[in-house]
Chains A and B, each alone.
Chain A
Amino acid sequence: MNERIADSPASIYARGLAAGTLLYQRCSDCHSAVFHPRVVCPRCGGAALEWCQSTGRGTVYSSTVVRSRSGANPVALIDLDEGFRMMCRLRSEADAVIGARVAAVIPEGCTIDELLFAMEEDR
């Protein structure tokens, strides 16, 4: 009989953040870093994805500043050093520089929408 999934990738990721860690998956078969969290490796189709802890350090791949009446919201795609990419908010407009080194800011009890990245030296 096939094994049922006991704990969803989304739940494990969210609990990681709440515990102050940025988690990602790595495929046991092809060793690709995988993000967004899922149950099958999108590179090789392998179903054995292991959870790993990221250093939270990476490089801004691209960025934009969303302008609205409520202010400026800097958003980036960040290439984490472990080899996965994610979208996140930046702490300030000044961080929205392609190529900049950034690091995750993960407060205690962090929820997905509270996650931030800031310039590595300013963290």
Chain B
Amino acid sequence: MNTTLRGRTSVVGVAESDIGKVADGLTSLDLIGQAAARATSDAGIPLSEIDGIFSATSHYSMSSMEVGEYLGIRPRYSDSSNMGGASFVSHLLHAAAAIDAGLCTTALIAYGSTQLSDGGRLVTASMPNPYEAPYGPRYPVSMFAMAAARHMYEFGTTREQLAEVAVAAREWARLTPGAFRTEPLTVDDVLSARMVSDPLTTADCCLVTDGGGAVILTSTERARDLRRDPVPVLGVGEAHWHRNISEAATLTTTAAVDSGARAYAMAGLTAADIDVVELYDAFTINVPLFLEDLGFCEKGEGGAFAADGRIRPGGALPVNTNGGGLSYCHPGMYGIFLIVEAVRQLRGEAGVRQVRDAELALVHANGAVLSGQATAILGGSNTM
């Protein structure tokens, strides 16, 4: 396992663009621009010092070139690799390696989408799969629905347990300024919402919003001289085992097992060390799956683990402390927001939702249909 990248780079700036429903006419690139300007300002680094661009979007297949042009950056390292919503955590790995190798010094990781303004349809550059699309699954919810159904069949996970994931997310969102959905939500509300693809209702599904985010990464050595406390990348890993759900060997274990193991090994940490967890909750089933695959509980126990208030505000394991993709925001791909929230928690700037003494955060992002998985472990400034 690679341990040489442990703590070599740090997040020194994070920001979100406007989120929710943004002004008419704004583009994905406008949101990336707004977030990038805010993130460089947060870092105290001029935009002109960015020499590495890492971006993936649904609207632009050559995202990093679009971002470079928009921002007037001529990078010497450019990466538009796309693992769906996992891209941005994956980009942390790629950027850390590039910086450590001396190929760039200051990386911008950026995302933006106007999915809500565009009418809510999932923009995707993916070809429809010829062995799936003809049968009419609704992409991507039906794929996660089949994972949920199988988890229920194998382990006795219940719809009530999945609903609790949505309720916990809403409780966190109610503490988060700018969250998209903050009205009270109960388990019964989730169960009685309109069924979309059995066993998942509309309330088991992530939001459709606009929004963007940006993360600035540089060497930890340099980070010490910048205005913000550095948030070191202690461990990071990525993995994918399939792209299309019908080629997944199993629906109840994901490649998070591998991405998580790689991140933990680099960091020299285990799940027991983690203070705050940010998981990509595109659908409620994601949370039990990833809690299991990342070692917070045994395989099959994720539903029960999440169901007794453990992941709500005040619970033993704070999960998705801004309300996640289920209640905070979800502009097509959510991964960048996981990093932003983890950094805010580690800097102690999360206001009333602040997890006390948060020193170690695990960020885990999913891409496509339980396909791409990327895990990062970020630390507070005292962890180096």
Contacts and interface: CB of A to CB of B under 8 A. Distances in A.
Contacts of A75: 135-137, 142, 146
A75 B145 CA distance: 11
Interface string A23-42: 00000000000011100000
Interface in B189-214: 194-199
Nearest to A78: B246
B255 interface: no
A9 B199 CA distance: 35
B131 to A, nearest CB: 5
B243 to A, nearest CB: 11
B150 interface: yes
Contact of A67 (B130, B198, B244): B198
B130 A98 contact: no
Nearest to A65: B198
Contacts of A88: 135
Given A86-B131, A98-B153, A112-B131, A64 B145 contact: yes
B261 to A, nearest CB: 22
Interface in B83-135: 129-132, 134-135
Contacts of A77: 146, 245-246, 251
A36 B134 CA distance: 14
B138 interface: yes
A64 B130 CA distance: 19
B150 A62 contact: yes
B147 interface: yes
A51 interface: no
Interface in A80-100: 85-89, 96, 98-99
A3 interface: no
B183 interface: no
B225 interface: no
A64 B244 CA distance: 16
A113 interface: yes
Contacts of A62: 146-147, 149-150, 153, 251
B132 to A, nearest CB: 5
Contact of A66 (B137, B150, B194, B246): B137
Interface residues of B, number: 27
B24 interface: no
B75 to A, nearest CB: 35
The A contact surface, by secondary structure, is: strand
Nearest to B153: A98
Interface string A52-79: 0000000001111111100001011100
Contacts of B134: 112-113, 115
Contact of A89 (B130, B131, B135, B199): B135
Question: Which of B196, B198, B199 has its CB near the most chain A CB atoms (within 10 A)?
Answer: B198
B196 A87 contact: no
B301 to A, nearest CB: 20
Contacts of B199: 64
Nearest to A113: B134
Nearest to B198: A65
A10 interface: yes
A87 B7 CA distance: 43
A64 B131 CA distance: 17
A113 B244 CA distance: 17
Nearest to B154: A98
Contact of B130 (A10, A85, A99): A10
B143 to A, nearest CB: 9
Nearest to B134: A113
Question: Which of B129, B146, B195 has its CB near the most chain A CB atoms (within 10 A)?
Answer: B146
Contacts of A10: 130
B162 to A, nearest CB: 14
B298 to A, nearest CB: 21
B341 to A, nearest CB: 30
B197 A64 contact: yes
B194 A67 contact: yes
Contacts of B195: 65, 67
30 contacts: A10-B130, A36-B130, A37-B131, A62-B153, A62-B251, A64-B146, A64-B197, A64-B198, A65-B195, A65-B197, A66-B136, A67-B195, A67-B197, A67-B198, A68-B138, A73-B135, A73-B136, A75-B135, A85-B246, A85-B247, A87-B132, A87-B137, A89-B135, A96-B198, A98-B150, A98-B153, A99-B153, A112-B130, A112-B131, A115-B134
The 9 A-B pairs of least Cβ separation, nearest first, read A113-B134, A64-B145, A62-B146, A62-B150, A87-B246, A89-B135, A98-B153, A65-B198, A36-B131
